[in-house]
Structure 1
Amino acid sequence: MLKIAAIQIDLAFGDPAVNRLKIKNMIEKASVNGPDVIVLPEMWNTSFSMNNLKDLADREGEPTKSMISELSRKYHVNIVAGSIADRYGDKIYNRLYVANRQGEIHSYYDKVHLVRHAREDEYLTAGNTSRIFSIDGIACGAIICYDIRFPELSRALALKGAKILFIPAQWPETRIEHWKALAIARAIENQMYVVAVNRIGSEFKATFPGNSLIVDPWGKVLAESNCEETILESEIDIDLVERIRRKVPCFQDRNEAAYGID
Structure 2
Amino acid sequence: MKVSLIQMDMKFASPDENFAHAEELIRQAAQSHPDVITLPETWNVGFFPKENLAELSDKDGARVKETFSRLASELNVNIVAGSVSNVRDGKIYNTAFVFDRKGTCVAEYDKTHLFSPSGEHEYFQSGDHTVRFELDGVPCGLIICYDVRFPELIRTITVQGIDVLFVVAQWPSLRRFHWQALNQARAIENQCFVACTNSCGTAGETKNAGYSAVYDPWGELVGGCGPNEMILTTDMDLNIIKGIRSSINVYRDRQPGLYQVN
**Secondary structure of 1:49's aligned partner:** coil
With structure 1 as the length reference, what TM-score do the two structures score? Answer: 0.97
Alpha-carbon distance between aligned partners in 2 of 1:130 and 1:260, rounded to the nearest angstrom: 19
C-alpha displacement of 1:53: 1.4
Alpha-carbon distance between aligned partners in 1 of 2:111 and 2:50, rounded to the nearest angstrom: 16
Alpha-carbon distance between aligned partners in 2 of 1:38 and 1:250, rounded to the nearest angstrom: 30
Alpha-carbon distance between aligned partners in 2 of 1:256 and 1:54, rounded to the nearest angstrom: 41
**Secondary structure of 1:28's aligned partner:** helix
Q: Is the Cα contact below 8 Å between 2:11 and 2:203 reproduced in 1?
A: no
Deviations 1:121-161 (A, max 9, x none): 11100101111100101110000000000001111111011
Counterparts of residues 186-225 of structure 1 (less than 5 Å)? 186-225=186-225
Deviates more, 1:200-209 or 1:24-33: 200-209
**Secondary structure of 2:257's aligned partner:** helix
Alpha-carbon distance between aligned partners in 1 of 2:231 and 2:41, rounded to the nearest angstrom: 15
With structure 2 as the length reference, what TM-score do the two structures score? Answer: 0.97
**Secondary structure of 1:63's aligned partner:** helix
- Matched with 2:152 is 152
- Matched with 1:64 is 64
Alpha-carbon distance between aligned partners in 2 of 1:7 and 1:188, rounded to the nearest angstrom: 23
2:14 counterpart of 1:19: no
C-alpha displacement of 1:261: 4.6
- Matched with 1:36 is 35
- Matched with 1:101 is 101
Alpha-carbon distance between aligned partners in 1 of 2:125 and 2:241, rounded to the nearest angstrom: 34
Alpha-carbon distance between aligned partners in 2 of 1:55 and 1:15, rounded to the nearest angstrom: 11
- Matched with 1:141 is 141
**Secondary structure of 1:125's aligned partner:** coil
- Matched with 1:175 is 175
Q: Is the Cα contact below 8 Å between 2:170 and 2:208 reproduced in 1?
A: yes
Alpha-carbon distance between aligned partners in 2 of 1:178 and 1:205, rounded to the nearest angstrom: 20
Alpha-carbon distance between aligned partners in 1 of 2:97 and 2:257, rounded to the nearest angstrom: 36
CA gap 1:200/1:261 in 2 versus in 1, 3 angstroms: closer
**Secondary structure of 1:92's aligned partner:** strand
**Secondary structure of 1:112's aligned partner:** coil
Alpha-carbon distance between aligned partners in 1 of 2:256 and 2:160, rounded to the nearest angstrom: 16
Amino acid at match of 1:11: M
2:12 counterpart of 1:7: no
After TM superposition, what 4+ stretches of structure 1 lie above 6 angstroms from structure 2? none
Alpha-carbon distance between aligned partners in 1 of 2:52 and 2:160, rounded to the nearest angstrom: 37
Q: Is the Cα contact below 8 Å between 2:76 and 2:101 reproduced in 1?
A: yes
- Matched with 2:230 is 230
Amino acid at match of 2:108: Y
Amino acid at match of 2:102: Q
Q: Which runs of 5+ in 2 are unaligned?
A: none
- Matched with 1:258 is 258
Amino acid at match of 2:28: K
User: How many residues end up aligned between the 2 structures?
Assistant: 261
Deviates more, 1:95-104 or 1:234-243: 234-243
Alpha-carbon distance between aligned partners in 2 of 1:209 and 1:150, rounded to the nearest angstrom: 20
Deviations 1:159-178 (A, max 9, x none): 01111000010000110000
C-alpha displacement of 1:37: 0.1
Identity of aligned residues (%): 39
CA gap 1:103/1:131 in 2 versus in 1, 3 angstroms: same
Amino acid at match of 1:127: G
Deviates more, 1:178-187 or 1:82-91: 82-91
- Matched with 1:120 is 120
Q: Is the Cα contact below 8 Å between 2:12 and 2:204 reproduced in 1?
A: no
C-alpha displacement of 1:257: 2.2
C-alpha displacement of 1:247: 1.1
Alpha-carbon distance between aligned partners in 1 of 2:101 and 2:191, rounded to the nearest angstrom: 26
- Matched with 2:130 is 130
